[in-house]
């Protein structure tokens, strides 16, 4: 797999100059995202930890200590706030909060509350993600999301997080990429490769995801009125061969549209986009050999962000959009800046065309473990895995400096 060239020939217009980011409105959320299991390390009670440490694990590399964000979170917050970001999305690990069946850890709950308070003290608005792929091993081993009591058990976890919410949480994401969660059985089994398009989600897990989300949203609104709640869906910019546009809706419906419609009553819809999915005349995903690929094998296509957001806005015209993840896995940080510049330009164009977008969160603050691999580097900050030393890349200061109201090229009109 090759990285993108110095001057990428992408599936969109040529890469823009880093100083050509269009402005965003005052109050626009300008944040970075980070995942719990991928960054914390040592989540020994989770099902992914168990999977990683099987003698014949299907995962190429273990997470292990990850990048030790469980202990180094103050430094991570300092990096985000110091660069100029206004918002910080991080994950809460269910397996830490409830490491054994009905055994809740007050120490873990206090830990996450301290992160929330730390963010607020630094001027960062904290958004928490309650589920980001990993489950407690006790829950997973007994059927996971197919358990008859899955909704009830998740609600007990939600209830236990009351001290975290009270510490100053500004927004909640119930589930990260529920459509990918529902597709994990195929992805984990090696039957599918997301670079070739999101596989069909499992119908039963799809139903469970929607039921859990709706129940959790209702419980959060009951327990913590005033905190906006939504979820973040993996949304591709679906494009079809000329004359085959009728395949788009059929392909997208089970892969993301059903999850988008489930958010019709939410306070926002999170959009998480990294690349396009190009469909042939039969509706099958195809990789364009002429488009450079990133370190994940995905097509280098920055403008996919605007296309995905525009489609979401058409599907949910009355629900505000927050881009909760967008980024690129490249070794050359100048390419990260070029990609993000063009992605933000496409986002601004979608907004100018009518999409109600309230914010942008970049994935990721740190280079971290990417679900079986350490090679793909999405971070604005490099991390030495032996010492955990954080080294900011030029993209950190550049993107943080675009925050609306900071006087950067992304400042408000």
- The Cα–Cα gap between 129 and 231 comes to 8
**Which token pair is 106?**
């007050």
Pairing of strands 125-131, 171-176: parallel
pTM: 0.94
Q: Which of 79-88, 222-231, 344-353, 404-413 has the lowest mean pLDDT?
A: 404-413
Asked whether the predicted pLDDT for residue 15 surpasses 80, the reply is no
Cα 349-353-357 angle, rounded to 5 deg: 75
Domains of the chain: 29-400 (3.20.20.80)
- The pLDDT, as a whole number, for residue 191 is 61
287 band by pLDDT with thresholds 50, 70 and 90 = confident
Tell me the residue ranges of DSSP E strands in 147-202. 171-176
Asked whether the predicted pLDDT for residue 277 surpasses 50, the reply is yes
Q: Which of 274-288, 290-304, 359-373 has the lowest mean pLDDT?
A: 274-288
Helices vs. strands in the chain: H and E counts, helices first: 15, 13
- Looking at per-residue pLDDT, the higher value among 370 and 3 belongs to 370
Percent of the chain with pLDDT over 70: 92
Q: How far is CA 167 from the centre of its chain?
A: 23
Question: What digits encode the pLDDT tens for the residues 74-84?
Answer: 999 999 999 99
- The pLDDT, as a whole number, for residue 152 is 98
| Cβ atoms of residues 325 and 272 within 8 Å | yes
- The pLDDT, as a whole number, for residue 408 is 43
- Looking at per-residue pLDDT, the higher value among 218 and 8 belongs to 218
> What does pLDDT average to over the chain?
92
16 band by pLDDT with thresholds 50, 70 and 90 = very low
Question: What digits encode the pLDDT tens for the residues 80-129?
Answer: 999 999 999 999 999 999 999 999 999 999 999 999 999 999 999 999 99
String of DSSP letters for 349-376: HHHHTT--EEEEEEE-SB----SS-S--
Asked whether the predicted pLDDT for residue 308 surpasses 60, the reply is yes
| DSSP conformational letter for 34 | -
- Looking at per-residue pLDDT, the higher value among 386 and 185 belongs to 386
Question: What digits encode the pLDDT tens for the residues 173-232?
Answer: 999 999 999 999 888 766 667 877 888 999 999 999 999 999 999 999 999 999 999 999
Percent of the chain with pLDDT over 90: 84
Tell me the residue ranges of DSSP E strands in 123-236. 125-131, 171-176, 229-234
Question: What digits encode the pLDDT tens for the residues 225-258?
Answer: 999 999 999 999 999 888 878 899 999 999 999 9
Question: What digits encode the pLDDT tens for the residues 31-62?
Answer: 999 999 999 999 999 999 999 999 999 999 99
- The pLDDT, as a whole number, for residue 311 is 97
- The Cα–Cα gap between 97 and 77 comes to 21
**Which token pair is 376?**
């793909």
- The Cα–Cα gap between 340 and 114 comes to 31
Asked whether the predicted pLDDT for residue 134 surpasses 80, the reply is yes
Number of other residues whose CB lies within 10 A of the CB of residue 164 = 26
């Amino acid at each position: 797999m090759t990285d993108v060239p110095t001057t990428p020939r992408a599936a969109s217009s040529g890469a823009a100059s880093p100083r050509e980011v269009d402005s965003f409105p005052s109050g626009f959320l300008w944040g970075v995202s980070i995942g719990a299991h991928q960054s914390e390390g040592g989540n020994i009670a989770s099902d992914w930890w168990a999977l990683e440490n099987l003698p014949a694990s299907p995962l190429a590399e273990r997470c292990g200590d990850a990048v030790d964000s469980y202990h180094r979170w103050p430094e991570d917050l300092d990096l985000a706030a110091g660069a100029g970001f206004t918002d910080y999305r991080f994950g809460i690990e269910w397996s830490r909060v409830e490491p054994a069946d009905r055994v809740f850890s007050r120490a873990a709950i206090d830990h996450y509350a301290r992160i929330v308070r730390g963010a607020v003290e630094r001027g960062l608005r904290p958004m928490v993600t309650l589920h980001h792929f990993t489950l407690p091993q006790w829950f997973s081993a007994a059927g996971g999301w197919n358990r008859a009591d899955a909704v009830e058990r998740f609600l007990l976890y939600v209830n236990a997080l009351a001290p975290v919410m009270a510490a100053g949480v500004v927004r909640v994401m119930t589930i990260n990429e529920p459509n990918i969660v529902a597709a994990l059985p195929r992805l984990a089994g090696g039957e599918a490769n997301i670079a070739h398009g999101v596989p069909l989600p499992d119908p039963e897990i799809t139903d469970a995801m929607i039921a859990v989300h709706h129940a959790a949203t209702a419980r959060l609104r009951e327990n913590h009125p005033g905190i906006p709640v939504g979820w973040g869906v993996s949304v591709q910019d679906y494009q079809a061969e000329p004359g085959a546009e009728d395949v788009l809706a059929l392909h997208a419906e089970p892969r993301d549209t059903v999850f988008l419609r489930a958010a019709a009553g939410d306070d926002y819809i999170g959009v998480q986009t990294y690349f396009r999915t190009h469909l042939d005349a039969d509706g099958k995903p195809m990789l364009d050999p002429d488009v450079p690929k990133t370190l994940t094998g995905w097509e280098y296509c920055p403008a996919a962000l605007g296309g995905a957001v525009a489609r979401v806005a058409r599907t949910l015209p009355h629900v505000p959009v927050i881009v909760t993840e967008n980024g690129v896995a490249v070794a050359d940080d100048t390419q990260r800046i070029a990609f993000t510049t063009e992605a933000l330009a496409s986002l601004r164009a979608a907004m100018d065309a009518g999409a109600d977008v309230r914010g942008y969160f970049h994935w990721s603050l740190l280079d971290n473990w990417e679900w079986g691999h350490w090679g793909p580097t999405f971070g604005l900050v490099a991390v030495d895995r032996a010492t955990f030393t954080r080294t900011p890349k030029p993209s950190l200061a550049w993107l943080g400096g675009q925050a609306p109201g900071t006087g950067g090229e992304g400042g408000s009109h």
